[in-house]
Structure 1
Amino acid sequence: MLIWLALLIGGYGAMLAYLWATQESRIFFPRTLPAERADEIVQQIAGARHVWIDAPDGTRLHGWWRPASPSTASGRVLLYFGGNAEDVHWRLGHGDGYPGWDLLLTDYRGYGRSGGQPGQAQMQADALLWFDRLSAGLEGLPAPSAIAVMGTSLGSYYATHLAARRPVSGIVLATPFDSVRDYVQSRLPLLPVRLILRHPMDSKSDAGAIRAPSLFITAADDKTIPPERARILFDAWAGQPRDWVLVPQSNHDTVSSEPLYWESLGHFLRTLP
């Protein structure tokens, strides 16, 4: 019995060590983009361009800019943080979905054209840096009169983190979660998730600090992040007014192809001051 107990304890410890060492590859799915392909993309969209900022640690961060009108910026910017494996540049081709708003789509560290390696702390700092540089006038762009923020899935955490610390005009969360830590713990109840997880991404802890008008867009058939996880965050949310949209017959990957997704987003952006 002692031998079996020792083997069991040893196996459990080895599993914890393995999960601790490999968690970045299970949480982040960076996708890089060749420079030539990135240039082709901006050339296909009128007014689109690359924007760059340097993080304090020297990491070069890339974003995609598209004005509301090809000829001029509106001065109202939607700052976007994408999903885990999302190539955010696809949104450049949906300018009509963000009526009256310029777009700044950010590439996380290790994603798209950005350098570095992803990690919660670094990406939190990057989100704040994008906002601050944008507020001051990014790469010759005029300082905007309003900045709203949007995050999808993974990006919902960084949008929330930012909105709790900066004066955003509004916030949109698409297929959001309450907490990576709590969600993983609910799926793996026998593991000490709080002890081994380096990237807890707990949006719920910031929910009470939000003051901006807010829109939650969720997918009824989402198996990746079930709507009930988003509902936990929504119920803790302090931002007002706050709207909840449940898109029927859609899942985590298809919700943005549904008309209700774009109708809800467009209506919300039109109502912001």
Structure 2
Amino acid sequence: MLKWLILGLVVYLGALAYVYLTQERQIFNASSIQTPLDFPCYPCETLRLEVASDVVLEGLHRPFKEAPVLLYFGGNADDATRILLHLNPALAVEVVAFNYRGYGKSGGQPSQEALFADALKIYDTFAKGRNVIVMGRSLGTGVATYLAANRAVQKLVLITPYDSIRALAKASYPYFPIDWLIKHPFESTHYMSYVTAPVFVVEVEKDTVTPHKHTLALIEKISHLALHVTLDQTTHGEVLHAFEKESIMKKVLTF
């Protein structure tokens, strides 16, 4: 009996170690980006931003005169610059999209602390004093919410958002001490309490990555919900195609 208890304890501790040591790979899944990073975009220009010593982020900028500037933050397996493939070129919006550290051609290693700090620097460099729309998808909704809580923005757009990575991890590993293990909690519900801008929420029906209850927990913290759309006939991974088809960005701009 004691032998089985010891074996069970060893297996459990091994599972804890696995979750702790692999969480960066699970949260920041840059290795899953399989599509080519280069694609036609006109008129676009490549951006480079030094965010730390020897750490440079690379992104794309689509100019549009006398228009709001959209700052976009992608999902955990996204090339963020490809948001430009899902925005109608005729939309009156300037776009700035950088890849996270370790994603695409950006240097460095991703972490919650790094993504939050980089988002502030991107805003201060390209959007300060402007009419700013912040948009995030999946993992990026946590970054976008943090930015909207700490800088003046006019609109916040969240695509397949969650309440926190901590809460998602607890749901996936209910018998693990997640509060002790998690290094990148992305507590969107906390930061949402400080967001005063109108918020636009887009979720997909039967989302298996960010289930509805986690989106609902975030919505309950929103003081000004401008739009809440649930898209059917799509998935978490394909949501940007439906986002484009439903012309949701046009609704955001005309709000």
Q: TM-score, normalised on structure 2? A: 0.91
Larger displacement relative to structure 2 (95-104 or 150-159): 95-104
Q: Provide the residue aligned with 1:92 in structure 2.
A: 84
**Deviation string, structure 1 residues 230-268 (Cα, Å, up to 9, x no partner):** 111011122x24321111222102222226764222111
**Deviation string, structure 1 residues 37-90 (Cα, Å, up to 9, x no partner):** 75x53xx3222011111113331011211123xxxx334200000111122232
* Equivalent runs, 1:57-136 vs 2, <5 Å: 57-68=53-64, 73-96=65-88, 99-135=91-127
User: How far, CA to CA, are the matches of 2:203 and 2:180 in structure 1?
Assistant: 30
AA of the residue aligned to 1:8: G
Q: Could you tell me whether the CA contact under 8 Å between 1:32 and 1:111 is conserved in 2? A: no
AA of the residue aligned to 1:170: K
Unaligned 5+ residue runs, structure 2? none
Q: Provide the residue aligned with 1:7 in structure 2.
A: 7
Q: Could you tell me whether the CA contact under 8 Å between 1:160 and 1:203 is conserved in 2? A: yes
User: How far, CA to CA, are the matches of 2:80 and 2:9 in structure 1?
Assistant: 44
User: How far, CA to CA, are the matches of 2:50 and 2:254 in structure 1?
Assistant: 32
User: How far, CA to CA, are the matches of 1:97 and 1:266 in structure 2?
Assistant: 12
Q: Could you tell me whether the CA contact under 8 Å between 2:59 and 2:99 is conserved in 1? A: yes
Q: Provide the residue aligned with 1:197 in structure 2.
A: 182
Unaligned 5+ residue runs, structure 1? 137-143
Structure number having the greater helix percentage? 1
AA of the residue aligned to 1:114: S
User: How far, CA to CA, are the matches of 2:251 and 2:167 in structure 1?
Assistant: 32
AA of the residue aligned to 2:163: D
**Deviation string, structure 1 residues 145-171 (Cα, Å, up to 9, x no partner):** 311100000100000010000001110
The alignment covers a number of residue pairs equal to: 253
What's the % identity of the aligned pairs?
Answer: 32
* Equivalent runs, 1:20-59 vs 2, <5 Å: 20-31=20-31, 41=39, 44-59=40-55
Aligned to 1:55, the other structure's residue is in SS state strand
